[in-house]
Amino acid sequence: MDEPHGESGAWGAAKAKASSLLAIGYTRLQLLGNELEVGRISAMRQLMLALALVFCVGVGVLLTVGALVLLFWEQRLAVVSVAAALFWVLSAFFVLRLRQADKKTEPLFSASLAELQEDLRQLKAASGHGPSPD
């Protein structure tokens, strides 16, 4: 006789697995969304700070070089030449530092990828196709 309200057998197990997989996928999508939002906020904050810094440094450099030229009017060509050389050296230094910082950044979605790999490992272990769980 059929059981009208209870699910049993292969169909019930398949529905339970599908429900579990759907819950895992939903959780992972929420985590991915959170990572995207945190990354966006961080990027916008860094961009605004960088723009403010560039503006202030630019104005400060112009005023400093102008003041030095006025102070050493007789050697104005030497003052401007030394200032230009200094800023070219500093520019090269900052380009190198930016390249180093770019190599050190953590890959995007690393937490989501790690969780998905753990889910895959557990699913394989549960199905008997992978190493047994710890």
Specify the pTM.
0.50
Better pLDDT: 117 or 44: 44
Region of 128 (left: φ > 0; alpha: ψ -120 to 50; beta: rest) is: left
What mean pLDDT comes out for the span 119-127?
A: 77
Domain of 41 in residue numbering reads as: 12-127
- Does residue 16 sit within a domain? yes
pLDDT band of 10, cuts 50, 70, 90: confident
CA distance 118 to 89: 47
**Which tokens sit at 80?**
């401007």
Residue 39 counted as domain residue: yes
Q: Does 97 reside within a domain? A: yes
Mean pLDDT to the nearest integer, 1-13: 64
pLDDT band at 119 (very low <50, low <70, confident <90, very high): confident
Which residue type, as a one-letter code, is found at position 52? Answer: A
Answer yes or no: is 112 within a domain.
yes
Q: 132 lies in a domain?
A: no
Q: Nearest to residue 35, comparing CAs of 118, 106, 99? A: 106
Q: How many domains does the chain have?
A: 1
pLDDT for the residue 25 = 83
